[in-house]
Amino acid sequence: MKHDRLKISKIVDELMNYCFYMGSTNIHVDVQETDEFFKIYCKCDYKDSNLKKVEKMVKLLNCTKHEELEEYYWTLTGDCDVANELSLVGMMTDEATVKYSEGQDIEITLYRYKQNKE
């Protein structure tokens, strides 16, 4: 698949941009590649006053996968710091889970499966 690893890099960029937007001062990102998938794990803190931004992130990341949109729009991910493209990240990933609770760090886990070409 074209630019597959670059797409992962840009997803990480987008996540980090949003973490900063939520007021994070401590961000840990872990990227793992296997034969079947890419896994992106991100753990960060956030300002309590930004809880709405966290809830917005959960909604946007939970967009279902849309590969028909990905090829056209993927270059927008991680490229802008005045607006976010988290819904696009949701469309580019197969699974997204976000765990957060008051006073705790947020844990985001994304899976992007490698698909067979036709």
Partner 1 sequence: MVLTLYGALFVVLGFLMDTPEGILRGLRQIILEPDFLITDYIGVGGLGAAFVNAGILTLAAIFILYRMEIKVTGATISTVWLMTGFGLFGKNIFNVWFIMAGVWLYAQYQKDKFIKYVYIGLFGTSLAPLVTQIMFITNMSRWVSIPLGMAVGVFVGFILPPVSAYLMRVHQGFNLYNIGFTAGIIGTITVSVLRSYGLNMETRMIWTTGNNQILAMILVALFALMILIGFYLNGKSMKGYKNFYKYSGRLVTDFVILEGFAPSLLNMGINGLFATAYVLAIRGDLNGPSLGGIFTIVGFSAFGKHLGNMLPIFIGVFLGSLTKVWYINDPSIVLAALFGTTLAPIAGEFGWKYGILAGFLHSSVVLNVGFLHGGINLYNNGFAGGIVAATLIPIIEAFKKEE
Which stretches of the chain bind partner 1, using CB under 8 A?
Answer: 1-2, 21, 59-60, 63-64, 66-76, 79-80, 82-83, 85, 87-88, 91, 117-118
Element (H, E) at 48: none
**Helices of type H across the chain:** 4-21, 51-61, 67-73, 86-92
| Residue among 21 and 38 whose Cβ is closer to partner 1 | 21
| Residue among 49 and 101 whose Cβ is closer to partner 1 | 49
| Residue among 75 and 104 whose Cβ is closer to partner 1 | 75
| Residue among 1 and 32 whose Cβ is closer to partner 1 | 1
State which amino acid sits at residue 72. Y
How far is residue 50's CA from residue 6's CA, in Å, rounded to a whole number?
30
CB of 60 to partner 1, least distance (A): 8
103 — alpha (psi -120 to 50), left (phi > 0) or beta?
Answer: left
CB of 33 to partner 1, least distance (A): 20
